[in-house]
Amino acid sequence: MAAAKLKPSREKMSLKSERRGIHVDQSELLCKKGCGYYGNPAWQGFCSKCWREEYHKARQKQIQEDWELAERLQREEEEAFASSQSSQGAQSLTFSKFEEKKTNEKTRKVTTVKKFFSASSRVGSKKEIQEAKAPSPSINRQTSIETDRVSKEFIEFLKTFHKTGQEIYKQTKMFLESMHYKRDLSIEEQSECTQDFYQTVAERMQTRGKVPPERVEKIMDQIEKYIMTRLYKYVFCPETTDDEKKDLAIQKRIRALHWVTPQMLCVPVNEEIPEVSDMVVKAITDIIEMDSKRVPRDKLACITKCSKHIFNAIKVTKNEPASADDFLPTLIYIVLKGNPPRLQSNIQYITRFCNPSRLMTGEDGYYFTNLCCAVAFIEKLDAQSLNLSQEDFDRYMSGQTSPRKQESENWSPDACLGVKQMYKNLDLLSQLNERQERIMNEAKKLEKDLIDWTDGIAKEVQDIVEKYPLEIKPPNQSLAAIDSENVENDKLPPPLQPQVYAG
């Protein structure tokens, strides 16, 4: 992408920079004009504010060049007419040609100026207000359940702002009415009208309504949700653009890169850890779910949730906080593994119709810019980016072989995916059977060792008993017998007798 150019592959030769083209400095994600906001690929690396300034400068320059060209052609024709000394018929013919060319240039000049100052680039003009008063088929049509729900939520939200809310609702309704008459315009012009409306409403709330900035953001989120829910089916992947063609191209590209492994991208994620594997699945689910949302802010929220799951997976794997150099390769791997539907259409839709302040700052803008980097890398991915030889890269891309298979497991291009999966499962079962047999043999060996050890201990005890037999002695004689045999009894003093003394 323009806002986050991929670095050359040999800038840093450290272990992490072996990712080559995957490494991106954080400064390169910012607007290239140096305003401090995040850039955007559709705005040639500028932020929304700088892009609008550059766009208007370019239009003014084009108009000025048209005027200068018209004046130069007029002078040349006048000089040619003045210097002509031919016959009256020839003079009349020259003058007619001059008038015709002058009229054409004047018409083109006026058309250019009218286009620049037309209602398509300004919201709320008198013409649009008059047209807004007319009944619109888009308003009278039966709305969907979701549209009706969003409309009610928007009205309830604005009730808390009283007069300011009424003014916002009036402007929003006028904008939707004007957009109904601008469906024949290009999608870029419709995007410009929407961005002008965002900017006009935000500035009016801050200057006239004295609304605090934090409340302005909440109101703008509700306005975006309301108008984009109403306009979604007209402005998302319109037939007048090549968005669908880009979707098919990136989808085909990702399918061709199905063989890319985490090791090739230097992804610091270990999916053998159950917790990490769950986070990877959640990240893929979030990036796929993006296509089901209508509001640009909701699509950005899916990207943000996906990115946070990625950071958590890296943190659990490395047992330390993830860095930006770890995040981008992992995001590329998630996109390759998930192959989100209508990826380019969703990116373009967010770029064209999201509240610009959300894309220019904050975590949503940062993660969205990184997603654009990931898509740009996938589109330009080559053998050098993956540290492969050109021959291996070409064989993998053509489907002749895959790094995940043994050379003897090559499949024909027309082989059924179900058959491939069946043989893969059979191979896994065979490996499990071998492991089970190995475990059973080890268990039998352990059982035999235990029996031999028990027999050995019993034999040793028996040998010791035989070598040192037990001698059983007769029981000891009683104490009386011992005393009776004592010949010295006669010499003992008589026993003491108790005596009683009178008190």
- Residues 267-314 pLDDT 10s: 999 988 999 999 999 999 999 999 999 999 999 999 999 999 999 999
pLDDT reading at 12 higher than 60: no
| 26-34: Cβ within 8 A, 24+ apart | 26/324, 28/3, 28/4, 29/3, 29/4, 29/366, 29/369, 29/370, 29/373, 30/3, 31/3, 31/360, 32/2, 32/3
Region for residue 43 given its phi and psi (left: phi exceeds 0; alpha: psi -120 to 50; beta: otherwise): alpha
CA 233 to chain centre: 23
Q: What is residue 408's predicted lDDT score, i.e. its pLDDT?
A: 39
The whole-angstrom distance between residue 177's C-alpha and the CA centroid of its chain comes to 34
* C-alpha span between 405 and 419 (Å, rounded): 15
Cβ count within 10 A of residue 52: 17
Could you give phi then psi for residue 72, rounded to 5 degrees? -65, -45
Q: Which residues are bridge partners to 38 per DSSP?
A: 30
Q: Is the pTM of this model over 0.75?
A: no
Identify which of 300, 403, 250, 242 has the alpha carbon closest to the alpha carbon of residue 40. 300
Lowest mean pLDDT: which of 6-15, 59-68, 71-80, 278-287? 6-15
Question: What is the CATH topology of the domain spanning 241-396?
Answer: Glutathione S-transferase Yfyf (Class Pi); Chain A, domain 2 (1.20.1050)
* Cα–Cα distance for residue pair 468/480, rounded to 1 Å: 35
| The predicted structure's pLDDT at residue 66 | 74
- CA angle, corner 179, sides to 174 and 180, nearest 5? 100
For residues 131 and 137, give the distance between their C-alpha atoms in angstroms, rounded to a whole number: 12
**Residue owning tokens 């990625």:** 310
pLDDT at 350: 95
The answer to whether residue 55 scores a pLDDT higher than 70 is: no
Q: Which residue has the tokens 């024909």?
A: 412
CB 339 within 8 A of CB 290: no
* pLDDT of res. 24: 66
Positive/negative CA dihedral, 340, 342, 345, 346: negative
Tokens of residue 438, six digits: 């190995």
Q: What is the CATH number of domain 145-233?
A: 1.10.246.120
What CA–CA distances, in Å, run from 393 to 54, 155, 377, 400? 41, 56, 16, 10
State the pLDDT confidence band at 211, using cuts at 50, 70 and 90: confident
Distance CA 177, CA 373 (A): 36
- What distance in Å separates the CA atoms of residue 3 and residue 5, rounded to the nearest whole number? 6
pLDDT band of residue 406 (cuts 50, 70, 90) is very low
The tokens for 392 are 């291996």
Burial class (CB in 10 A: 0-12, 13-18, 19+), 118: middle
Work out the average pLDDT over 319-323: 88
CB atoms within 10 A of CB 449: 10
**CA atoms 90, 93, 98, 101: torsion sign:** negative
Is 417 in a helix, a strand, or coil? helix
- Asked if residues 67 and 74 have their Cβ atoms less than 8 Å apart, the reply is no
Q: Residue 213 burial by CB count (10 A; 0-12/13-18/19+): exposed, middle or buried?
A: exposed
Phi first, then psi: what are they for 135, rounded to 5°? -65, 135
Distance between first and last Cα of the chain? 125
Instruction: Report the distance separating Cα 440 and Cα 434, nearest Å.
Output: 10
% of the chain with per-residue pLDDT over 70: 72
**CA atoms of 333 and 347, how far apart (whole Å):** 18
Report which of residues 165 and 131 the model is more confident about: 165
